[in-house]
């Protein structure tokens, strides 16, 4: 645990008693704060009471008398589509609002670091797609090369739940826009933006607000080095804002699909080959095609980001390549479940939006595609250019028929439930084809999370008869 600094003897309120809220409350107490908590749901309040915390309804200005700060869990809206009543009450009371990420960055460094030979470092990864894989891959490469590392944030452990840093350790954080948007301290040593595509638009009042939340990771603390995916205009804009000149290697540009060979530092992948350029010269390359844990162009983009981060941390190309070859992939992210009778079953339940699903569809040919769920804003038009790899779609979800109607030109069968979709796809599939779960939608119409949806897919696949 990371004891929170700066609140000893003060009363701090925590809103939201999920994983991050409970960890924040414990870390605040460990640092000497008096903690009061609240959750809008009875289950959260019951969990807090069971953990021994004092409950206080924070929906009135008076409830913040004597409170120094309000710490908010990432799932709770603080501005759009409307501020949570407790957050609005904190504003009225003049109480600063922060989150666990802000607490982490103000508390991670301690006096113990004075005796370390190598100062610990923090790598923070954000983006619309690929940030989980990128963060996990960086962590894997570091461990495989003998560098101590912990993985936390939106993946793995909560940021305040990790162990205090060791000499030379690298903390790898995956941070969502919900986490970067509110944190009052954001000071990573390396910051990574994988890419940007429309997502969580209701929470950020549009794409501009969403990009602004991501941009805070680079603008607020000024990382020593920034790695920016420049395949979208927003990434090009951000990279340009951060440089002092064309040869400024504090910014590493990343791309999947186009060559970057200018005077600065860049890492890109084309046709399955990763290349590193510095000052106009190639200084490293990796053939990514045989790496089973990183299939498809979208994973090659993740590989570029992880490679660049590890190079910035001082690792050599050969050590990075060897570690990539042993990377097993993440559950629910292009995860090979089984190969049966020449048919591969791939679980990409994390593909919850159009952009990530489009990348999944490009990664394989001859796809039996299981899709559908709680559709996000913007429709499915972005998928239409990528349906040429789809032999047939098997649509699940409560609104499966409406979802299927948008897949113009595709052979689509309404299945509604996962067990029916898996059974139909397996019965139809021929050797050399892929049965791919890549929903292009959120899970909440039928499942508590994308993980639960992916687990159901795996169970249906493993229980199906060949």
Do the annotations mark residue 326 as ligand-binding?
A: no
In the chain, residues under CATH classification 3.90.190.20 are 335-463
Whole-model pTM: value is 0.84
- Asked: is 11-98 a CATH 2.70.40.10 domain? The reply is no
The CA distance from 2 to 152, in Å, is 12
Query: What pLDDT digit, counting tens, does each position of 87-134 carry?
Result: 999 999 999 999 999 999 999 999 999 999 999 999 999 999 889 999
- The answer to whether the annotation marks 132 as part of a ligand binding site is yes
Q: Which long-range contacts (CB under 8 A, 24 or more apart) does 261-269 make?
A: 265/308, 267/227, 267/304, 267/305, 267/307, 267/308, 267/311, 268/304, 269/297, 269/300, 269/301, 269/303, 269/304
User: Is 127 assigned a ligand-binding role in the annotation?
Assistant: yes
Contact 33, 98 (CB under 8 A): no
- pLDDT tens for the 466 residues of the chain, in order: 999 999 999 999 999 998 889 999 999 999 999 999 999 999 999 989 999 999 999 999 999 999 999 999 998 999 999 999 999 999 999 999 999 999 999 999 999 999 999 999 999 999 998 899 999 999 999 999 999 999 999 887 899 999 999 999 999 999 999 999 999 999 999 999 999 988 788 899 999 999 999 999 999 878 999 999 999 999 999 999 999 998 899 999 999 989 998 899 999 999 999 999 999 999 999 999 999 889 888 899 999 999 999 999 999 999 999 999 999 888 898 888 999 999 999 999 999 989 889 989 998 989 999 999 998 878 899 999 999 999 999 999 999 999 999 999 899 999 999 999 999 999 999 999 999 999 999 999 999 999 999 999 999 999 986 5
CATH number (3.40.630.30, 3.40.1190.10, 1.10.150.110, 3.40.710.10) of 104-325 reads 3.40.1190.10
All CATH 3.40.50.720 domain ranges of the chain, comma separated, are: 11-98
- Does the annotation flag 356 for ligand binding? no
Q: Is 94 labeled as ligand-binding?
A: no
Long-range contacts of 115-118 (CB under 8 A, 24+ apart): 116/167, 116/168, 117/167, 117/168, 118/167, 118/168
Has 349 been labeled as part of a binding site?
no
pLDDT single digits (tens) 32-63: 999 999 999 999 999 899 999 999 999 999 99
Which string of DSSP letters, residue by residue, matches 213-273? Answer: HHHHHHHSS--SEEEEE-SSHHHHHHHHHH-SSTT-TTEEEEEESS---SSSEEEEEETTE
**Assigned fold of 335-463:** 3.90.190
**pLDDT recorded at residue 466:** 52
Domain limits, CATH 3.40.1190.10, in the chain: 104-325
Q: Give the model's pLDDT for residue 464.
A: 83
Q: What is the rounded radius of gyration, in angstroms, for the C-alpha atoms of the chain? A: 23
Is 256 labelled as part of a ligand binding site? no
């Amino acid at each position: 645990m990371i004891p929170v600094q700066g609140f000893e003897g003060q009363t701090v309120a925590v809103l939201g008693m999920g994983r991050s809220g409970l960890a924040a409350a414990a870390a605040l107490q460990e640092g000497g704060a008096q903690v009061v908590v609240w959750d809008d749901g009875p289950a959260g309040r019951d969990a807090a009471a069971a953990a021994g915390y004092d409950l206080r309804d924070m929906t009135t200005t008076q409830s913040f008398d004597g409170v120094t700060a309000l710490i908010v869990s990432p799932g709770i809206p603080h501005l759009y589509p409307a501020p949570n009543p407790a957050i609005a009450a904190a504003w009225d009371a003049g109480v600063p609002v922060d989150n666990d990420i802000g607490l982490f960055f103000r508390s991670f460094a301690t006096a113990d670091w004075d005796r370390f030979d190598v100062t610990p470092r923090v790598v923070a990864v954000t983006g619309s797609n690929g940030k989980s894989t990128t963060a996990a891959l960086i962590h894997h490469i570091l461990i495989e090369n003998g560098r101590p590392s912990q993985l936390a944030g939106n993946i793995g452990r909560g940021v305040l739940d990790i162990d205090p840093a060791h000499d030379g350790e690298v903390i790898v954080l995956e941070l969502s826009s919900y986490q970067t948007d509110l944190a009052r301290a954001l000071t990573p040593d390396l910051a990574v933006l994988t890419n940007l595509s429309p997502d969580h638009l209701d929470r950020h009042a549009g794409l501009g607000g969403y990009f602004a939340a991501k941009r805070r990771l680079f603008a607020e603390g000024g990382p020593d080095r920034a790695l920016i995916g420049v395949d979208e205009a927003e990434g090009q804009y951000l990279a340009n804002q951060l440089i002092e000149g064309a040869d400024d290697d504090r910014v590493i540009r990343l791309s999947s699909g186009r060559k970057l060979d200018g005077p600065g530092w860049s890492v890109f992948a084309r046709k399955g080959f990763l290349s590193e350029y510095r000052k106009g010269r190639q200084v490293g390359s990796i053939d990514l095609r045989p790496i089973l844990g990183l299939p498809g162009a979208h994973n090659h983009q993740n590989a570029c980001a992880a490679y660049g981060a590890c190079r910035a941390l001082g690792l050599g190309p050969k050590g990075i390549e060897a570690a990539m070859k042993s990377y097993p992939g993440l559950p629910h992210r292009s995860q090979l479940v089984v190969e049966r009778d020449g048919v591969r079953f791939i679980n990409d339940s994390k593909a919850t939006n159009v952009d990530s699903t489009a990348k999944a569809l490009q990664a394989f040919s001859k796809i039996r595609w299981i899709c559908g769920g709680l559709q996000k804003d913007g429709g499915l038009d972005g998928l239409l250019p990528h349906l040429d790899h789809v032999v047939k779609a098997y649509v699940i979800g409560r609104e499966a028929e409406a979802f299927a109607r948008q897949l113009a030109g595709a052979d689509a069968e309404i299945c509604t439930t996962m067990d029916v979709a898996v059974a139909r796809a397996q019965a139809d599939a021929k050797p050399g084809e892929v049965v791919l779960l890549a929903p292009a939608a959120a899970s909440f119409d039928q499942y508590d999370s994308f993980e639960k949806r992916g687990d159901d897919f795996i169970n249906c696949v493993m229980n199906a008869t060949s």
